[in-house]
């Protein structure tokens, strides 16, 4: 059982895309083609039965679009890693576990080259940990954890986040408050002791507030020219967080 709060903010949870990492308005068709080309070449070199590139390209694209559509209907994400393995096995593709993981990374790698952290992000996260705050990630995604964690590791951010919740591992996703409850349980703090930072008004900050968490809206193209909901704080850069948290905690302790 969690202790009663003795200060307001003890933990900070971050959304991933356009919050902790910035991707911007990517050219999805180009990113997909780059992934298709690199994964096709990888499988071809291993002598796997992939057929023509045109067939490979469209087969995977149609499969992904069907899964996206089903995801929208069901309200739950799918695991791209499991999808690729199942689909590949039907086509007679045989890989080791390490090769499958590399294949999934090759699909994601073009996007990873676009997604970057803000300058001084590591310094900001270091400051937050020195303040005694626990840090975690809650992200809606179908990208496998191995690829996302590798991306975070490349940017030098992974070790800051011992708690990482990726929606494809659950039967629900944001804005379903159950994923926020799962995150609170995992990080070991009460809702009123947690601050959530995200870029989506409905899926992130409004949903977090429903549980009793503090909510911070990170400025991004996804919320440009939209009104910040009442009770939600707003920042333009993550570097603003340490001072904001200290201000909140000082106000509540007085």
Q: Which residues of 22-53 are buried (b: 16+ CB within 10 A; e: fewer)?
A: bbeeeeeeebbebbbebbbebbeeeebebeee
Whether 2 is covered by a domain: the verdict is: no
Q: What is the pLDDT of residue 251?
A: 83
**One domain for residues 172 and 246:** yes
Q: What is the pLDDT of residue 1?
A: 37
Q: What is the pLDDT of residue 252?
A: 72
Residue that terminates a domain, selected from 83, 112, 141 = 112
**One domain for residues 148 and 212:** yes
Whether 50 is covered by a domain: the verdict is: yes
Alpha-carbon separation of residue 79 from 26, 68, 94, 249 (angstroms): 22, 11, 19, 39
- Whether residue 236 is predicted with pLDDT greater than 90 in this model: the reply is yes
Predicted TM-score (pTM) above 0.75? yes
Q: What is the pLDDT of residue 254?
A: 62
Q: Find how far residue 249's CA is from the centre of its chain.
A: 27
Q: Is 137 exposed, middle or buried (0-12, 13-18, 19+ CB in 10 A)?
A: buried
Whether 201 is covered by a domain: the verdict is: yes
The structure tokens listed for 59 are: 């087969």
- Give residue-wise pLDDT tens across range 237-254: 999 999 999 999 988 766
**One domain for residues 213 and 148:** yes
Give the residue from 171, 253, 218, 228 showing the smallest Cα distance to 12: 218
- Give residue-wise pLDDT tens across range 132-187: 999 999 999 999 999 999 999 999 999 999 999 999 999 999 999 999 999 999 99
**One domain for residues 125 and 169:** yes
Q: What is the pLDDT of residue 3?
A: 46
Give the residue from 234, 253, 19 showing the smallest Cα distance to 135: 19
Q: What is the pLDDT of residue 204?
A: 98
**One domain for residues 64 and 179:** no
**One domain for residues 242 and 178:** yes
**One domain for residues 162 and 203:** yes
Structural domain of residue 128, as residue ranges? 11-24+116-253
**One domain for residues 83 and 182:** no
- Whether residue 7 is predicted with pLDDT greater than 70 in this model: the reply is no
Whether 153 is covered by a domain: the verdict is: yes
Whether 4 is covered by a domain: the verdict is: no
- Whether residue 6 is predicted with pLDDT greater than 90 in this model: the reply is no
Residue that terminates a domain, selected from 112, 143, 176 = 112
**One domain for residues 138 and 237:** yes
Residue that terminates a domain, selected from 56, 91, 112 = 112
Distance, in Å, from the CA atom of 175 to the CA atom of 242, rounded to the nearest integer, reads: 26
- Whether residue 4 is predicted with pLDDT greater than 50 in this model: the reply is no
- Give residue-wise pLDDT tens across range 55-110: 999 999 999 999 999 999 999 999 999 999 999 999 999 999 999 999 999 999 99
**One domain for residues 100 and 163:** no
**One domain for residues 141 and 233:** yes
- Whether residue 214 is predicted with pLDDT greater than 60 in this model: the reply is yes
- CATH number for the domain that contains residue 244: 3.40.50.1000
For the chain, what percent of residues have pLDDT higher than 70? Answer: 96
Domains identified in the chain, total number: 2
Please answer whether residues 41 and 226 qualify as being in contact, where contact means their C-beta atoms are separated by less than 8 angstroms: no
**Backbone Cα Rg of the chain:** 20
Whether 6 is covered by a domain: the verdict is: no
- 43-66 average pLDDT score: 96
Whether 178 is covered by a domain: the verdict is: yes
What is the overall mean pLDDT for the chain?
95
- Whether residue 2 is predicted with pLDDT greater than 60 in this model: the reply is no
**One domain for residues 126 and 15:** yes
The pairs formed by 52-57 with CB atoms below 8 angstroms and a separation of 24 or more are: 57/33
- 192-219 average pLDDT score: 97
Please answer whether residues 140 and 98 qualify as being in contact, where contact means their C-beta atoms are separated by less than 8 angstroms: no
Whether 62 is covered by a domain: the verdict is: yes
Task: Determine which helix (DSSP H) or strand (DSSP E) holds 162, and give its type and residue range.
Answer: none
Give the residue from 155, 168, 125 showing the smallest Cα distance to 11: 125
């Amino acid at each position: 059982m969690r202790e009663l709060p003795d200060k307001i903010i003890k933990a900070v949870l971050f959304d991933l895309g356009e919050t902790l990492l910035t991707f911007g308005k990517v050219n999805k068709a180009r990113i997909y083609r780059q992934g298709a080309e690199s994964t096709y070449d990888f499988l071809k070199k291993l002598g796997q039965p992939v057929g023509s590139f045109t067939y490979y390209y469209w087969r995977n694209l149609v499969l992904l679009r069907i899964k996206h559509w089903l995801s929208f209907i069901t309200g739950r994400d799918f695991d791209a890693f499991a999808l690729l393995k199942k689909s590949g096995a039907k086509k007679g593709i045989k890989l080791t576990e390490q090769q499958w993981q590399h294949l999934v990374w090759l699909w994601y790698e073009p996007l990873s080259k676009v997604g970057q952290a803000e300058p001084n992000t590591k310094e900001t996260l270091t400051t937050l940990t020195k303040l005694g705050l626990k840090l975690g990630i809650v992200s809606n995604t179908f990208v496998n954890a191995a690829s996302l964690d590798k991306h975070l590791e490349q940017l030098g951010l992974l070790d800051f986040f011992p708690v990482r919740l990726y929606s494809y591992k659950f039967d629900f996703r944001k804005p379903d408050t159950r994923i926020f409850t799962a995150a609170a349980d995992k990080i070991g703090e009460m809702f009123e002791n947690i601050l959530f930072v995200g870029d989506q008004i409905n899926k992130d900050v409004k949903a977090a507030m429903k549980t009793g968490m503090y909510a911070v809206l990170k400025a991004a193209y996804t919320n440009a020219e939209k009104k910040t909901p009442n009770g939600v704080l707003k920042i333009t850069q993550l570097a603003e967080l340490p001072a904001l948290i200290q201000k909140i905690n000082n106000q509540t302790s007085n």
